[in-house]
């Protein structure tokens, strides 16, 4: 994969080394020697991952990272701090500033490329979600994250650790910020991860008879855990495991002996990122639903009907089964709007949709076609049975007055035209035209009736 990497370091030799190493793996590289230019580059163009030196004049890496994460336009860009500082307190400070990881100078080539690739993949996934939501306008995705960047409710963590002593230490360290469920058996832990909601899985690589990377691979391959953050605990200098873990999709790692503060900081960082992306997915799902749902009545809209009717029609043709359509129109609806106002008209439409929904069967598809027109698609239904369903709906509309919020009672009726895939009807468009002609005939011949299309 390719991505645009911003390298920030005030020492030219470091810039040249990182630039050459990244260019060798076909990344697009942008370099700068100070924090202010780095902020301007991020604000003005596409950056996928930032490699940020800590020790710089005027504005150090911690401040640059804090400013990036405080700006909604750049908060989602992964930041890797590249530093000669190797104390746990320095890593914790960086993680609290919002950094996604640390690389210690001299930079290990394998860890550099693996970490950049891993974070670029996460950025790509997040960008895809954000792009799909642009048409929905400005969306607030900070609901589950506090204004100070801290999560508002404790996370739920699944710890998979083969040794009771290390389980106890990790649970104790995370107790102030998360509810931790610890398992020693990897096979049962996988089942636990798929059946219950977790914000993070921590996998300790201390198993004697089980490959922890196999466990990571299994969790990544299952639908229910595909997007669940994974953090692996590894031995010092076990570069091969770290690189392989990141290639498999593990989000983060921590090296033994574990510093409790660093563990907490990395845990909170992963939980925040998960909740951020979860909210993006929820908003995307809601946006997609709005695209196919009529906002007033709650029924599917014409866009959904056009797409789904084609599928149902082709399926019926392939299997040699019946499919029928009922097109219905509220009689004299313009008079309702003219005499009582458009709010009253909306009330009638909502009540009509409610009665329609109560009448159709579970397999039927009810849609608002537009204005005061509605369509019911009835798979595996003959024209005769469709006529019975339509007549039942016509009676339900006529028999009980529509009561407005103002207390007024309106007598509403509806006309209906039905058609089915009889001989000669060879497309969903033709089926709809037949139903429309039958509806026109019902209106022309006096309204408040059901008319079937002629064979």
pLDDT in tens, 140-167: 444 444 434 445 678 899 999 989 999 9
Question: Global pTM?
Answer: 0.59
Give, in words, the CATH class of 145-285: alpha beta
The pLDDT value recorded for residue 86 is 65
Burial of 7 (0-12, 13-18, 19+ CB in 10 A): buried
- Can 347 be counted among the known catalytic residues? no
Phi, psi of 148 (to 5 degrees): -90, 5
Distances in whole angstroms, Cα of residue 139 to Cα of each of 44, 269, 295, 419, 420: 21, 22, 18, 43, 44
The pLDDT value recorded for residue 92 is 77
How many angstroms separate the CA atoms of 245 and 229, rounded?
12
The pLDDT value recorded for residue 146 is 42
The pLDDT value recorded for residue 423 is 65
Contact 226, 247 (CB under 8 A): no
Domains 1-138 and 302-452 fall in the same CATH topology: no
Options 19, 262, 351, 372, the catalytic residue: 372
The pLDDT value recorded for residue 284 is 66
Residues 6+ apart with CB under 8 A from 419: 324, 325, 383, 425, 431, 432, 434, 435, 437, 438, 452, 453
The pLDDT value recorded for residue 144 is 41
The pLDDT value recorded for residue 415 is 97
302-452: CATH superfamily: Reverse transcriptase/Diguanylate cyclase domain (3.30.70.270)
**Where do the H-state alpha helices sit in 163-293?**
164-174, 186-195, 212-221, 239-247, 260-292
How many angstroms separate the CA atoms of 21 and 7, rounded?
11
Q: Pick from 256, 262, 246: which is nearest to 204 by CA?
A: 256
How many angstroms separate the CA atoms of 2 and 267, rounded?
28
On whether the 1-138 domain is CATH 3.40.50.740, my answer is no
Look up residue 221 and give its two tokens: 């391959």
The pLDDT value recorded for residue 289 is 67
Give me the residue spans of the domains in the chain.
1-138, 145-285, 302-452
The DSSP code for 296 is T
Q: What is the pLDDT along the chain (455 residues), one digit of tens a residue?
A: 578 999 999 999 999 999 999 999 899 999 999 999 999 999 987 899 999 999 898 899 999 999 999 998 898 899 998 887 666 677 778 878 888 888 878 887 877 887 788 788 878 877 766 665 664 444 444 444 443 444 567 889 999 998 999 999 999 999 988 999 999 999 899 999 999 999 999 999 988 888 999 999 999 999 889 889 999 999 988 888 888 888 888 888 888 888 888 888 888 888 888 887 888 777 766 766 667 888 899 999 998 898 889 999 998 988 889 999 999 999 999 999 999 999 999 999 999 999 999 988 888 999 999 999 999 999 999 999 999 999 999 999 999 999 999 999 999 999 999 999 976 788 999 999 999 999 999 999 999 999 998 75
């Amino acid at each position: 994969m390719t991505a645009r990497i911003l390298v920030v370091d005030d020492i030219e030799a470091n810039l040249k080394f990182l630039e050459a190493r990244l260019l060798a793996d076909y990344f697009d590289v942008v370099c700068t020697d100070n924090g202010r230019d780095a902020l301007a580059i991020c604000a003005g163009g596409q950056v996928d991952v930032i490699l940020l030196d800590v020790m710089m004049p005027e504005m150090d890496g911690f401040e640059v990272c804090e400013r990036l994460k405080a700006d909604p336009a750049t908060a989602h860009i992964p930041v890797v701090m590249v530093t000669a500082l190797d104390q746990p307190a320095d890593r914790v400070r960086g993680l609290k500033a919002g950094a996604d990881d640390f690389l210690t100078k001299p930079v290990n080539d394998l860890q550099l490329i693996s970490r950049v690739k891993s974070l670029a993949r996460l950025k790509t996934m997040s960008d895809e979600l954000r792009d799909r939501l642009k048409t929905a306008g400005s969306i607030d995705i900070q609901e589950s994250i506090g204004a100070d960047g801290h999560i508002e409710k404790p996370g739920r963590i699944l710890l998979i650790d083969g040794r009771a002593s290390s389980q106890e230490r990790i649970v104790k360290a995370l107790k102030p910020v998360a509810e931790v469920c610890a398992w020693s058996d990897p096979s049962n832990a996988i089942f636990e991860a798929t059946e219950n909601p977790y914000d993070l899985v921590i996998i300790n690589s201390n198993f004697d008879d089980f490959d922890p990377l196999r466990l990571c691979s299994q969790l990544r391959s299952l639908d229910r855990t595909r997007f669940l953050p994974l953090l692996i605990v590894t031995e010092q200098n076990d570069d091969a495991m770290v690189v392989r873990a990141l290639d498999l999709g593990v989000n983060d790692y921590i090296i033994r002996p574990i510093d409790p503060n660093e563990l907490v900081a990395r845990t909170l960082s992963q939980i925040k990122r998960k909740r951020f992306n979860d909210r993006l997915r929820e908003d995307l799902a809601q946006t997609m639903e709005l695209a196919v749902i009529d906002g007033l009545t709650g029924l599917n809209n014409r866009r959904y009907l056009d797409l789904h009717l084609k599928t149902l029609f082709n399926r019926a043709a392939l299997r040699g089964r019946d499919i029928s359509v009922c097109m219905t129109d509220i009689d004299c609806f313009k008079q309702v709007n003219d005499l009582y106002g458009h709010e009253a008209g909306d009330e009638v439409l909502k009540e009509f949709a409610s009665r329609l929904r109560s009448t159709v069967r579970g397999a039927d598809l009810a849609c608002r076609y537009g204005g005061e027109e509605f369509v019911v698609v009835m798979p595996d239904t003959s024209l005769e049975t469709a006529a019975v369903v339509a007549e039942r709906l016509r009676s339900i509309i006529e028999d009980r007055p529509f009561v407005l919020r103002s207390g007024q009672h309106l007598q509403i009726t509806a006309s209906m035209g039905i058609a089915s895939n009889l001989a000669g009807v060879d497309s969903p468009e033709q089926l709809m035209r037949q139903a429309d002609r039958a509806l026109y005939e019902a209106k022309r011949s006096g309204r408040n009736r059901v008319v079937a299309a002629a064979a």
